[in-house]
Structure 1
Amino acid sequence: MKKILLVCIMIMSMLASACGNVEMTSNPNTSSEPKPEADESIIPKNTTEYCDDVFTTLDSETEKSFYGTWKVEKLLGFANSYNDASEYPTGQKIIGDEFIIKKDFFSSKGLKNYNDYQHELKNPLYRLNFICYNTGSFYRLFKTDPDALNININDKVKYIVINDSSTKLGIPLSFFIVNNDRLILLLEATNFELKKITD
């Protein structure tokens, strides 16, 4: 009995000694140290799941961003769903070409290497079809990687189509206006960055 009691006392003293040597560690969830701030640029400000379908004429702010003479500067990328009449996968025959967008006149005759895209319209009908407020809603509608188009998570993207005023038929060119300061040309499924030459 003495031996058992002695063994129990020894075990208890070892346990007490071990408990006394344990360092107190702080719980990371209760630490008083400041937490690093979240990168707000990657948090959507507008969490709308879908783009707004507006189907309206252009407002003055959009017209200012849209009208002018434009030059095709570089290929940005392709939609995931289908191809088009331009030269896949480089589209280089259109780089450097120009076209004109005015309130009462549209000409894509400067896209000289592709007959499918050469149009000249008097009094064209410009229509703002969709506005997307984040990259998620943009991808859902257009099936195009926003990163490839340099569209950031909180960018506002307007989608504009052009119709012939006499036939009311659309032409196979359309545009994205990003934050009213960038214009992207869509040739059906191929996207190009544009540079304004003149207003």
Structure 2
Amino acid sequence: MFTGQWQNRPSVLDDYKPHLEDRWSEGCTNAWKLWKEIVPLGYQGSYQRVRAYLHDKRTSPRPVTTRPPSPRAVAGWILRHPDTLTASEQLQLKAVQMHCLELDALSRHVRSFAAMLIKRQGERLPDWLDAVRQDDLPSLHTLAAGIDRDQDAVIAGLTLPWNSGVVEGHVNRIKMLKRQMFGRAGFALLRKRVLLA
């Protein structure tokens, strides 16, 4: 019956509530520390008033919020083709992109690189590198610097239909055979196993 009967009365704490709210959202919940912070700002009230205000914030029920997606899930959404994402995943990715401009820029760059890779449009690589350098994404700057070191080969790999996948597969298989024999196999035995496999 008496709940809220004093809510509209002015308080000496009113002018300092925005500061307290900001610090509370930053994670500072120590009433003594917050009182010490607002005294130099001109607050002349008591420590008990600050403590009571924060006590109400601690004991009031918090709104139920959904759990944020894991970094692995967000990376999966960015790396997968947009058509393979479910409607809820697309909505969650849009929400993440709206809250983090860096992830929005990153996903744009990843998608444009994937389109370049799938459609074999290696001639677009210099424009893509320029676009990457214009954004403040240090990890992509490192990737761009690595691509710059051998740009002709990367453009050829993104353009030409040939690749060294078959050779790499054979090298991988030979290494696996060598590991199976714990490094004790000589050339003759390795040769025999490769030819008979």
Q: Same fold (TM over 0.5)?
A: no
State the TM-score bracket (shorter-chain normalisation): under 0.3
TM-score when normalising by structure 2: 0.17
Per residue, is there more helix in 1 or in 2?
A: 2
TM-score when normalising by structure 1: 0.17
Per residue, is there more strand in 1 or in 2?
A: 1
